[in-house]
Amino acid sequence: MRLIAGTHLFALISLTAALDNGLLRTPPMGWMAWERFRCDIDCHDDPQNCISEDLFRDMADRLVEDGWKELGYEYVMIDDCWMSKLRDEQGRLQPEPSRFPGGIAKLARYIHDRGLKLGIYADMGTHTCMGLPGTTLDKIEIDAQTFASWGVDYLKFDGCYSNPLEQMLGYPLMSLALNATGRPIAYSCSWPVYVGGLPPVVNYTLMGNICNLWRNYFDIQDSWDSLQGIVDWFFNNQDDLQPAAGPGQWNDPDMLIIGNFGLSLEQSRSQMALWAIMASPLIMSNDLRNLDNGARAILQNKVAIAINQDPLGIQGRRLLQEKSRIEVYWRPLANSASALVFLSRRSDMPYLYHTSLAKLNYNPGNYGVYDVFTGSTVTGLNTTTLFTISINPSGVVMWYILPEHSKKTHTHHHLHKTASHFTFL
């Protein structure tokens, strides 16, 4: 045991550089089984929805045929409950044969043949959260090698059934083991969740050095309450969390639940908008075979996606929480652009919110505004101009904003003719 600990310490000390796999320069996009399909292993009574190779092939087909892939949704991710209860004779994890008769390598080929990538799930500990074989410290290397040999492109490494010391050793060791395979494998760490998600217990500099993304907080459930709890926690702790994010290293507030049962259309827009502001992974967990057009349009909104995928990779912040229960969120983007989200926490009626870009810390000047969900535009919006927007209960107004350069004389002229207050409804 002393010897093993010594080896691990050496590994930790040699971990000085950032996780240098070049992956996820923008947040990952794709689909993951867990929130929608959980640990449904009942292929007898529920063949369409059980965790099996058919489910992942179906989702891969949908991603390719329904326009998702070309928008950037490229990962198909297996979560818990893919494994057999026993490792094979060589000590390797193996898929449950009745549900994955072709094996993971074959599924990876199917997914790669369609220009997509495959994600898989393992757990740092004795068991996965659902009780299947875990990856104890002595199994890290063989599991990394097994995933690489199958052609896996992404690993979600959960942390049930381990203690903080094992986590402190295991998460960096898996990072090294994945790098050592020579296959680029994006690495998602659940470590922060298991130790409270915040400094000083969580070292976000280390996290950025060893993981491409990490789960900070509890699992999302299919409800607006769950979503609001996550949003509150992330933005209440933005001073700790926001600086941790950047190209190749992302906070993960968990899956998109748009298209399921718990969110209204307004609330679905709110999730998309806030996940774009947070530079969060856009990992849907829904049934792509049965998606209504409202949910589809929100998830496929090109401007919301472009804001999420902005190349600067700066996570946004909450600017204001008004007594009126309107909140304002902001994210700086490449080319001096920015995004604003006005969120209503009200439950009465559309609220008329009065503000100006100056009140939201914008530099003096004129701006062009594109409303992300309605498609309407305004040009020549001066920072001093008071405007009014209408925000639906539990909904958002989301703006993409660009400064208007080199049009000074024109805009001055325009402004003289414009009332100093306009309503943007």
Which positions touch ligand GLA (CB under 6 A)? 34, 79-80, 128-130, 158, 190, 215, 219
Give me 346's structure tokens: 């009200």
Q: At its nearest, how many Å lie between ligand GLA and the CB of residue 130? A: 4
Say whether 219 is catalytic. yes
Query: Shortest gap between Cβ of 132 and ligand GLA (angstroms)?
Result: 9
Q: Which is nearer to ligand GLA, 128 or 179 (CB)?
A: 128
CB of 58 to ligand GLA, least distance (A): 20
Which residue's CB is nearer to ligand GLA, number 35 or number 310?
35
Please, what is the minimum distance in Å from the beta carbon of residue 28 to ligand GLA?
A: 14
| Closer CB to ligand GLA, 219 or 222, in the complex | 219
With contact defined as beta carbons under 8 Å apart, do 309 and 27 qualify? yes
Tell me, yes or no, if 66 is annotated catalytic: no
CB closer to ligand GLA, 69 vs 99? 99
**CB of 400 vs ligand GLA, minimal distance in Å:** 31
The distance of closest approach from Cβ of residue 363 to ligand GLA in the complex, given in angstroms and rounded to an integer, is 41
**Of the listed 40, 219, 222, 240, which one is catalytic?**
219
Q: Which is nearer to ligand GLA, 76 or 306 (CB)?
A: 76
Q: Three-class SS string for the chain?
A: CHHHHHHHHHHHHCCCCCCCCCCCCCCCEEEECHHHHCCCCCCCCCCCCCCCHHHHHHHHHHHHHCCHHHHCCCEEECCCCCECCCCCCCCCCCECCCCCCCHHHHHHHHHHHCCCEEEEEEEECCECCCCCECECHHHHHHHHHHHHHHCCCEEEEECCCCCHHHHHHHHHHHHHHHHHCCCCCEEEECHHHHCCCCCCCCCHHHHHHHCCEEECCCCCCCCHHHHHHHHHHHHHCHHHHHHHCECCEEEECCCECCCCCCCCHHHHHHHHHHHHHCCCCEEECCCCCCCCHHHHHHHCCHHHHHHHCCCCCCCCEEEEECCCCEEEEEEECHHHCEEEEEEECCCCCCEEEEECCHHHCCCCCEEEEEECCCCCEEEEEECCCEEEEEECCCCEEEEEEEECCCCHHHHHHHHHHCCCEEEEC
Judged by CB, which is closer to ligand GLA: 129, or 299? 129
Enumerate the active-site residues. 158, 219
